[in-house]
């Protein structure tokens, strides 16, 4: 887009550039060269021996571009260049913790990964060895169950809010309550699920599906919120065109509205899954902790990766080494799962989204 | 526009069974949420009330509930507000960078990387916060105390381990960043292309285009995204519990080792060894958190309502 | 159904098939063959409670499940309070707890145990080390009064005369002391403050508490959090399970006229000096540890954690499992295993006899 739609010069040329219709501008190589210099300095600052202060120097170097532009191109273009700098800076700032966390997890987790790590459980394992098979399966099953509960509820609620509830009191309330739901602390969700299941199954109940319910409480508002935003962005013209062709409302929603918003919805659902897949506190309360594999969501304790990670770090035993290594390995696996999920989501939106202008 | 739509609805609803089923399912889903929330609220209230009413000598913390919860509320709000203040500008910048500034080919990869941050379990954030971030911030804090110590925020004495409320807020900011960014990015990408091109055609620079075409269109979405982020920041448990050196005081001093605790972290830290009415008091503090979210969202909704003219579907 | 949702359904189906395909096979180490045991015990035994015992429980699980391959023991480290509560509600077969049952809970326990007594035995005794990070000072020695004053916040620099008096040979720097305490409620804090309260001769004023009572100072979550905080700051001092102290300096504490470090032997000997709390059932072994002991070679800052079970269960198979489990846990093998992998102090022989005769009454 940027290549075809370069901003053109101001429509009312100021006196000093009245001679030509095009205003003076920086040579095209200048921003690129200064940017490259700045990036190089920053890289040396982060990885090199000089010190972290070089990153600030790099930023100052980059700030030359808007300053220069101020003198050559005038205030508006300078502002534009300055904002470009700010936006890029924001991105780079975000990359620092990201890079730091990712490298920590990958460098500490990767050495642990082996075929045994994926196929062994922790049953009868002390010290070295053992694996996360039981926790991996638990996480997959519980999260899948949670998604199976929350995605339909969340999506249909969003559809109600946008397509049916416009202006209705119920819709306003639901919208508001969904917001409130985002503030439920995860441990409260766990306690709620536990209290709910105790009613039916008696005290001390531990069930994978209880964990799924607890996660759903946390997941539904995220699904509703993101789906609602995405549905809201579907232009009314599309709906109206469909009605004009005599298509019933529900088919309009299924065939026009949802596909248009699909990419966003899938992103939202992935985010929601990512949000809950790392939850520790609620799962500990209702799904418990075990060393053995359990595939039955409706009976007995199920280990999950976050709970496993937490307790491998908190109570590592003696010597603490192997347990903490396993914790990092489990964290890395969790990350990989979400990465794959994200990738799958992208494939889905790539294949199923209507091919639009973007 | 609305009249066309409503006539269409009036005509189609009674005649087509498909419509009735679809509409019924949607309402049922919405009501399920209502029921769940009512359940949670009921649970919190029933379990929480005895904790609110408990006399000081019946609970472990030995104070009335109000005295107990006020510092926690303060800490929760302080941490969340700081986190959002740090995260929102960066998140909008990142989202804008990915949606409109970065080279197209690179953009989706970059978005993918940021999304990854959302997947890191909070335990890992906690460990990262203690072992990397806090340690790295120790010299920064002592510098802040030396040069800006006259401001009460940085009065010090600086923490020797760096595990302060400011560190916790930075960790929270990193945690909410991907949530806000991902939503903002999708919303920015949905800005009608014609609006953007119209702005550019009128001679607007790229920034002016963003200001005139993208932001007004995306405002309600940005607020929604921020509210989602706020929800996460308010309710985050493990990472705060691990990073923060908490001791139940009220102070604006951001860099000392004496910090206010947050409600969620406090529940996680004390719940394990709590019995009897103390448990009820903890659940009641959860109810307070619930109410805070309620109020904050109420305010946010009010802002969005006034600005709804730009939404596509009204 | 339209074409697109058909495709979606197919994708979902493929995903589901993948999950079930994976789930068809068990874990590589759980196949069961080669694990022949002579035991006829089978079933699942569930417990919940103190996270302090978690590392030891893993060791016991391993030993017990190897000897009885048809048994699965689960332990949720949800904390002592939660563990006791769920045990009393009948949700679990046994509980792990850093404190013995109080009067109210005992009444509930009788009801839960079909009017039989409760069997409560100390299974895990672990020395709590006072850890510090002060480069250049290797063998710090402190009297209880000084420790109390440091954590109370009245001694604030390392070269304080009180510290110098205990360490005539050390070169103490003029740097501030940062005391680190647990931010979560814990049995470790309770035992540590109990010791300070009894032995500090008044320099510790807040009494024995589970929640750290003093505002200020550094707070950290869990044993590992305290260790990490002490490691990352300089001039820090904290308290944590000795087994997790790693390379950090450990204070030798003044007992009588000598200084004793947190070794397993010294901690185990504290049980011999402990008195049983009066007025409880024969099978309810609640210990009152003599923190103020002057006996030579005894380390008084220990955490004694209990396992709580019933004397009689409705289900005889459950009773059998609980009994065998506790027997194993308190056996020489079990205690040795815990000592190796959790750093606890093994029960002494004489004490084990008392404990096992109490467990023997389970039926």
DSSP state letters, C270-299: HHHH-EEPSSS-TTB--EE--TT---TT--
Domain stop point among A51, A82, A111: A111
Q: What is the mean pLDDT of residues C86-95?
A: 89
Interface check A132 vs B, CB under 8 A: no
Partner-chain contact C184 B134, CB within 8 Å? no
Residues of C in contact with A120 (CB under 8 A): 27-29
Residue C103 has pLDDT above 60, yes or no: yes
> H/E element holding C181?
strand C178-182
Residues of C in contact with B123 (CB under 8 A): none
DSSP three-state, residue C258? strand
Taking Cα atoms as reference points, which of A276, A270, C165 lies closest to residue B114?
A270
CB A232 within 8 A of CB A162: yes
pLDDT, chain A, mean? 82
Q: What is the mean pLDDT of residues C263-292?
A: 84
Partner-chain contact B90 A90, CB within 8 Å? yes
Query: How high is the pLDDT of residue A121?
Result: 83
Angle among Cα A250, A253, A259 to the nearest 5 degrees reads 145
Query: How high is the pLDDT of residue A356?
Result: 56
> H/E element holding C3?
helix C3-23
Residues B5-19: tens digit of each pLDDT = 444 444 444 567 888
Partner-chain contact A232 B313, CB within 8 Å? yes
Reduce the secondary structure of chain A to three states and give it as a string.
CCCCCCCCCCCCCCHHHCCCCCCCCCCCHHHHHHHHHHHHHHHHHHHCCCCCHHHHHHHHHHCHHHHHHHHHCCHHHHHHHHHHHHHHHHHHHHHHHHHHHHHHHHHHHHHHCCHHHHHCCCCCCCCCCCCCHHHHHHHHHHHHHHHHHHHHHHHHHHHHHHHHCCCCHHHHHHHHHHHHHCCCCHHHHHHHHHHHHHHHHCCCCCEHHHHHHHHHHHHHHHHHHHHHHHHHCCCHHHHHHHHHCCCCHHHHHHHHHHHHHHHHHHHHHHHHHHHHHCCCHHHHHHCCCCCCCCCCCCCECCCCHHHHHHHHHHCCCCCCHHHHHHHHHHHHHHHHHHHHHHHHHHHHHHHHCCCCCC
How many whole angstroms separate alpha carbon A61 and alpha carbon A37? 8
pLDDT band at A6 (very low <50, low <70, confident <90, very high): low
Partner-chain contact C8 A352, CB within 8 Å? yes
Residues A62-83: tens digit of each pLDDT = 888 888 888 877 788 888 888 8
Within a domain: residue A74? yes
How many structural domains are present in chain A?
A: 2
Residue A145 has pLDDT above 90, yes or no: yes
- Residues A193 and A337 reside in one and the same domain: yes
Count of positions (residues) in chain C: 363
Interface check B133 vs C, CB under 8 A: no
Residue B143 has pLDDT above 80, yes or no: yes
- Residues A235 and A338 reside in one and the same domain: yes
Residue B110 has pLDDT above 70, yes or no: yes
Alpha helices, DSSP H, located in chain B: 2-15, 17-53, 65-96, 104-119, 122-128, 135-148, 165-189, 193-201, 206-209, 215-235, 238-243, 263-271, 277-306
Interface check C110 vs B, CB under 8 A: no
Within a domain: residue A151? yes
Max CA-CA distance within chain A?
87
Query: How high is the pLDDT of residue C31?
Result: 56
* Structural domain range at position A186: 119-352
pLDDT, chain B, mean? 82
- Residues A70 and A144 reside in one and the same domain: no
Query: How high is the pLDDT of residue B179?
Result: 83
Query: How high is the pLDDT of residue B313?
Result: 40
The tokens describing A116, both together, are 């045994």
For residue C83, what is the nearest residue in chain A, using CA coordinates?
A204
How close, in Å, is residue C233 to chain B by CA atoms?
5
CB B160 within 8 A of CB C233: yes
Partner-chain contact C217 B246, CB within 8 Å? no
Residues A234-293: tens digit of each pLDDT = 888 889 999 999 898 888 998 888 888 888 888 788 878 887 888 888 888 888 888 888
The tokens describing C46, both together, are 């569930």
CB A278 within 8 A of CB A186: no
Within a domain: residue A21? no
CB A178 within 8 A of CB A221: yes
- Residues A167 and A263 reside in one and the same domain: yes
Shortest CB distance from C222 goes to which of A124, A125, A314? A314
Query: How high is the pLDDT of residue B241?
Result: 85
Residues of A in contact with B314 (CB under 8 A): 166
Residue B66 has pLDDT above 70, yes or no: yes
Taking Cα atoms as reference points, which of A171, A157, A163 lies closest to residue B19?
A163
Query: How high is the pLDDT of residue C213?
Result: 78
Name which residue leads in pLDDT, C45 or A48. C45
Query: How high is the pLDDT of residue A10?
Result: 52
The tokens describing C11, both together, are 């994708």
Please report, in angstroms and rounded to a whole number, the separation of the first and last CA atoms in chain A.
9
CB C47 within 8 A of CB C93: yes
Report the range of poorest mean pLDDT among A92-106, A208-222, C22-36: C22-36
Within a domain: residue A15? no
Interface check B261 vs C, CB under 8 A: yes
Query: How high is the pLDDT of residue C22?
Result: 47
Partner-chain contact C27 A288, CB within 8 Å? no
| Mutation for A interface: B5, B123, B232, most A CBs within 10 A | B123
pLDDT band at B306 (very low <50, low <70, confident <90, very high): low
- For A47, counting Cβ atoms within 10 Å of its Cβ (0-12 exposed, 13-18 middle, 19+ buried), the class is exposed
What is the sign, positive or negative, of the torsion defined by CA atoms of A13, A18, A21, A27?
negative
Architecture of domain B16-310: Orthogonal Bundle (1.10)
- Residues A172 and A310 reside in one and the same domain: yes
Q: List A residues 174-203 in contact with B (Cβ-Cβ < 8 A).
A: 174-189, 191-192, 195-196
- Residues A79 and A228 reside in one and the same domain: no
Query: How high is the pLDDT of residue C34?
Result: 43
**Which range has highest mean pLDDT (A304-318, C206-220, C346-360)?**
C346-360
Query: How high is the pLDDT of residue C95?
Result: 92
For chain B, give the percent of residues with pLDDT over 90: 11
Partner-chain contact B270 C184, CB within 8 Å? yes
Residue C32 has pLDDT above 80, yes or no: no
Query: How high is the pLDDT of residue B268?
Result: 80
Q: What is the mean pLDDT of residues A312-322?
A: 78
Spacing of C-alpha C323 from chain mean position: 21
Query: How high is the pLDDT of residue B118?
Result: 73
Name which residue leads in pLDDT, B107 or B71. B71
Q: How far is CA A295 from CA A115, C16, C33, C103, in A?
A: 20, 14, 20, 41
Domain stop point among A81, A111, A141: A111
- Residues A104 and A141 reside in one and the same domain: no
Residues of C in contact with A289 (CB under 8 A): 74-77
Query: How high is the pLDDT of residue A14?
Result: 56
Residues of B in contact with C192 (CB under 8 A): none
CB C143 within 8 A of CB C166: yes
Query: How high is the pLDDT of residue A12?
Result: 58
Q: What is the mean pLDDT of residues C320-344?
A: 90
How many whole angstroms separate alpha carbon B264 and alpha carbon B281? 13
CB A301 within 8 A of CB A288: yes
Residue A115 has pLDDT above 60, yes or no: yes
Residues C200-256: tens digit of each pLDDT = 888 888 888 878 877 767 888 888 888 888 888 888 999 998 888 888 889 999 888
pLDDT band at B3 (very low <50, low <70, confident <90, very high): very low
Within a domain: residue A7? no
Residues of B in contact with A357 (CB under 8 A): 193
Residues of B in contact with A191 (CB under 8 A): 43, 47, 283, 286
Looking at chain A, which subunits does it touch, using at least 3 CB pairs closer than 8 Å as the criterion? Answer: B, C
pLDDT band at A104 (very low <50, low <70, confident <90, very high): confident
How many whole angstroms separate alpha carbon C51 and alpha carbon C57? 9
Domain stop point among A82, A111, A140: A111
Residue B52 has pLDDT above 50, yes or no: yes
Please identify which residue in the block is written with the tokens 């499940």.
Answer: C65
Residue A214 has pLDDT above 90, yes or no: yes
CB C337 within 8 A of CB C301: no
Query: How high is the pLDDT of residue C37?
Result: 55
What is the sign, positive or negative, of the torsion defined by CA atoms of A243, A246, A248, A251?
negative
Query: How high is the pLDDT of residue C6?
Result: 45
**pTM metric for this prediction:** 0.81
Nearby residues of C148 by Cβ (< 8 Å), 6 or more positions away: C196, C199, C200, C201, C202, C203, C204
Query: How high is the pLDDT of residue B79?
Result: 92
Query: How high is the pLDDT of residue A158?
Result: 92
Please identify which residue in the block is written with the tokens 């790099």.
Answer: A58
Give per-residue burial for C335-356: e unless 16+ CB within 10 Å, then b: bebbbbbbbbbbbeeebbebbe
Interface check A241 vs B, CB under 8 A: no
- Residues A95 and A148 reside in one and the same domain: no
Partner-chain contact A7 B205, CB within 8 Å? yes
| Mutation for B interface: A94, A103, A235, A283, most B CBs within 10 A | A94
Nearby residues of A321 by Cβ (< 8 Å), 6 or more positions away: none
Residues of A in contact with C76 (CB under 8 A): 206, 284, 288-289, 301
Interface check A203 vs C, CB under 8 A: yes
Within a domain: residue A306? yes
Residues B181-216: tens digit of each pLDDT = 988 888 888 888 888 888 889 888 888 888 888 888
Report the range of poorest mean pLDDT among B20-29, C11-20, C333-342, C343-352: C11-20
Within a domain: residue A358? no
CB C349 within 8 A of CB C111: no
- Residues A151 and A296 reside in one and the same domain: yes
The tokens describing A91, both together, are 């991105």
Q: Which residues pair with B52 in a beta bridge?
A: none
Q: What is the mean pLDDT of residues C16-31?
A: 55
Within a domain: residue A13? no
Interface pTM, i.e. ipTM: 0.76
Shortest CB distance from A280 goes to which of B22, B23, B123? B123
Residue A337 has pLDDT above 50, yes or no: yes
What is the sign, positive or negative, of the torsion defined by CA atoms of A129, A134, A139, A144?
positive
* C-beta pairs of A162-168 under 8 Å, 24+ apart in sequence: A162/A228, A162/A231, A162/A232, A162/B313, A163/A231, A163/A249, A163/A253, A163/A257, A163/B26, A164/B23, A164/B26, A164/B27, A165/B30, A166/B313, A166/B314
Give the number of other Cβ atoms within 10 Å of residue B226's Cβ: 22
Partner-chain contact C23 A137, CB within 8 Å? yes
pLDDT band at C19 (very low <50, low <70, confident <90, very high): very low
Residues B150-180: tens digit of each pLDDT = 887 887 778 878 888 899 999 999 988 988 8
Residue C140 has pLDDT above 60, yes or no: yes
Looking at chain C, which subunits does it touch, using at least 3 CB pairs closer than 8 Å as the criterion? Answer: A, B
DSSP state letters, C20-64: HHHHTS--TT---TT---S----EEEEEEE-GGGHHHHHHHHHHH
Q: Where are the domains of chain B?
A: 16-310
Interface check B267 vs C, CB under 8 A: no
pLDDT band at A41 (very low <50, low <70, confident <90, very high): confident
**Which range has highest mean pLDDT (A7-11, A330-334, C28-32)?**
A330-334
pLDDT band at B312 (very low <50, low <70, confident <90, very high): very low
CATH number at residue A248: 1.10.3720.10
- Residues A105 and A123 reside in one and the same domain: no
CB-defined contacts A:B, below 8 A: 353
The tokens describing B257, both together, are 């080792």
Name which residue leads in pLDDT, C38 or A294. A294
Angle among Cα B249, B253, B258 to the nearest 5 degrees reads 45
DSSP three-state, residue C158? coil
- Residues A52 and A128 reside in one and the same domain: no
pLDDT band at B228 (very low <50, low <70, confident <90, very high): confident
Phi/psi for C102 (5° steps) reads -90, 180
How many whole angstroms separate alpha carbon C80 and alpha carbon C284? 17
CB B199 within 8 A of CB B240: no
pLDDT band at A209 (very low <50, low <70, confident <90, very high): very high
Q: What is the mean pLDDT of residues A140-165?
A: 92
A293: region left, alpha or beta (phi > 0 left; psi from -120 to 50 alpha): beta
CB C356 within 8 A of CB C330: yes
How close, in Å, is residue B4 to chain C by CA atoms?
28
């Amino acid at each position: 887009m940027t290549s075809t739609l370069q901003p053109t010069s101001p429509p009312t040329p100021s006196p000093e550039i009245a001679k030509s219709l095009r205003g003076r501008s920086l040579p095209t190589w200048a921003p690129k060269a200064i940017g490259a210099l700045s990036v190089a300095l920053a890289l040396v600052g982060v990885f090199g021996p000089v010190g972290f202060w070089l990153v600030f120097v790099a930023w100052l170097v980059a700030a030359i571009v808007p300053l220069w532009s101020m003198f050559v191109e005038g205030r508006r273009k300078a502002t534009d260049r300055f904002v470009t700098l700010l936006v890029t800076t924001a991105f780079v700032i975000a990359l620092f913790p990201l890079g730091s966390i990712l490298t920590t997890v990958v460098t500490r987790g990767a050495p642990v990964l082996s075929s045994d790590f994926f196929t062994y459980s922790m049953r009868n394992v002390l010290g070295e060895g053992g694996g996360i098979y039981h926790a991996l399966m638990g996480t997959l099953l519980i999260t899948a169950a949670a998604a199976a509960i929350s995605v339909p509820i969340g999506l249909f609620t969003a559809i109600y809010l946008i397509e049916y509830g416009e202006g209705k009191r119920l819709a306003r309330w639901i919208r508001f309550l969904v917001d409130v739901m985002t503030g439920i602390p995860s441990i409260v969700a766990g306690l709620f699920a536990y209290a709910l299941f105790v009613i039916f199954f008696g005290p001390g109940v531990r069930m994978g599906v209880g964990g799924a319910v607890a996660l759903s409480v946390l997941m539904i508002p995220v699904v509703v919120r993101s789906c609602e935003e995405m549905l809201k962005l579907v232009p009314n013209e599309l709906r109206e065109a469909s009605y004009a062709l005599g298509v019933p409302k529900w088919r309009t929603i299924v065939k026009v509205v949802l596909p248009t918003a699909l990419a966003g919805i899938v992103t939202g659902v992935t985010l929601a899954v990512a949000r809950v897949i790392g939850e520790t506190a609620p799962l500990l309360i209702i799904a418990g902790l075990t060393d053995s594999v359990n595939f039955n969501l409706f009976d007995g304790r199920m280990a999950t990766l976050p709970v496993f990670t937490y307790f491998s770090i908190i109570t590592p035993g003696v010597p603490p080494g192997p347990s903490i290594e396993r914790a990092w390995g489990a964290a890395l696996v969790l990350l990989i799962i979400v990465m794959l999920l994200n990738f799958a989501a992208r494939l889905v939106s790539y294949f199923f989204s209507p091919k639009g202008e973007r | 526009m609305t009249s066309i739509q409503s006539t269409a609805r009036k005509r189609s609803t009674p005649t087509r069974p498909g419509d009735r089923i679809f509409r019924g399912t949607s309402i049922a889903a919405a009501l399920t949420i209502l029921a769940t929330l009512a359940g949670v609220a009921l649970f919190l209230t029933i379990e929480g009330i005895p904790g609110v009413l408990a006399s000081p000598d019946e609970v472990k913390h030995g104070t009335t509930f109000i005295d107990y919860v006020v510092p926690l509320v303060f800490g929760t709000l302080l941490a969340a507000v700081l986190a959002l203040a740090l995260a929102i500008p960066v998140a909008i910048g990142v989202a804008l960078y990915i949606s409109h500034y970065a080279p197209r080919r690179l953009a989706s990869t970059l978005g993918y990387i940021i999304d990854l941050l959302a997947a890191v379990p909070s335990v890992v954030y906690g460990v990262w916060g203690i072992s990397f971030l806090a340690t790295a911030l120790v010299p920064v804090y002592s510098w802040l105390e030396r040069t800006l110590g006259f401001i009460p925020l940085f009065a010090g004495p600086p923490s020797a381990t760096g595990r302060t409320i400011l560190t916790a807020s930075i960790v929270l900011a990193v945690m909410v960043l991907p949530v806000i960014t991902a939503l903002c990015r999708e919303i920015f990408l949905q800005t009608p292309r014609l609006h953007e091109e119209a702005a550019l055609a009128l001679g607007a620079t790229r920034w002016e285009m963003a200001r005139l075409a993208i932001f007004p269109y995306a405002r309600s979405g940005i607020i929604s995204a921020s509210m989602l982020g706020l929800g996460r920041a308010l309710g985050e448990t493990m990472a705060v519990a691990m990073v923060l050196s908490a001791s139940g005081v009220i102070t604006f001093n951001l860099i000392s080792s004496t910090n206010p605790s947050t409600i969620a972290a406090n529940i996680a830290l004390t719940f394990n060894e709590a019995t009897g009415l103390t448990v009820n008091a903890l659940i009641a503090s959860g109810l307070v958190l619930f109410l805070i979210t309620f109020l904050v969202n109420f305010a946010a909704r009010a802002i969005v309502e006034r600005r709804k003219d730009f939404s596509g579907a009204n | 159904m339209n074409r697109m949702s058909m495709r979606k359904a197919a994708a979902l189906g493929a995903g589901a098939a993948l999950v079930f395909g994976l789930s068809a096979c068990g874990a590589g180490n759980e196949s069961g063959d080669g694990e022949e045991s002579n035991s006829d015990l089978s079933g699942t035994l569930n417990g919940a409670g103190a996270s302090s015992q978690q590392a030891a429980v893993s060791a016991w699980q391993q030993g017990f499940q190897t000897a009885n391959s048809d048994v699965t023991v689960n332990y949720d480290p949800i904390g002592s309070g939660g563990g006791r509560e769920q045990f009393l509600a009948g949700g679990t077969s046994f509980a792990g707890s850093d404190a013995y049952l109080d009067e109210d809970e005992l009444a509930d326990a009788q009801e839960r145990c079909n009017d039989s007594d409760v069997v409560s035995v100390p299974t895990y005794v672990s020395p709590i080390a006072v850890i510090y990070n002060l480069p250049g000072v290797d063998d710090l020695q402190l009297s209880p009064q000084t420790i109390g004053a440091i954590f109370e916040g009245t001694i604030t620099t390392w070269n304080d005369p009180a510290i110098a008096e205990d360490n005539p040979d050390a070169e103490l720097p003029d740097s501030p002391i940062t005391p680190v305490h647990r931010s979560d409620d814990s049995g470790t804090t309770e035992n540590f403050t109990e010791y300070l309260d009894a032995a500090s001769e008044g320099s510790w004023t807040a009494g024995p508490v589970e929640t750290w009572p003093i505002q200020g100072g550094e707070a950290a979550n869990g044993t590992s959090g305290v260790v990490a905080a002490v490691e990352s700051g300089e001039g820090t001092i904290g308290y944590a399970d000795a087994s997790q102290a790693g390379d950090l300096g450990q204070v030798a504490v003044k007992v009588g006229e000598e200084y004793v470090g947190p070794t397993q032997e010294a901690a185990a000997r504290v049980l011999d000096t402990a008195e049983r709390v009066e007025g409880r059932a024969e099978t309810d072994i609640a210990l009152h540890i003599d923190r103020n002991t002057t006996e030579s070679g005894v380390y008084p800052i220990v955490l004694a954690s209990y396992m709580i079970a019933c004397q009689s269960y409705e289900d005889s198979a459950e009773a059998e499992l609980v009994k065998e489990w506790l027997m194993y846990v308190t056996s020489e093998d079990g205690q040795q295993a815990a000592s190796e992998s959790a750093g606890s102090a093994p029960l002494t022989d004489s004490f084990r006899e008392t404990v096992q005769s109490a467990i023997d009454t389970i039926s």
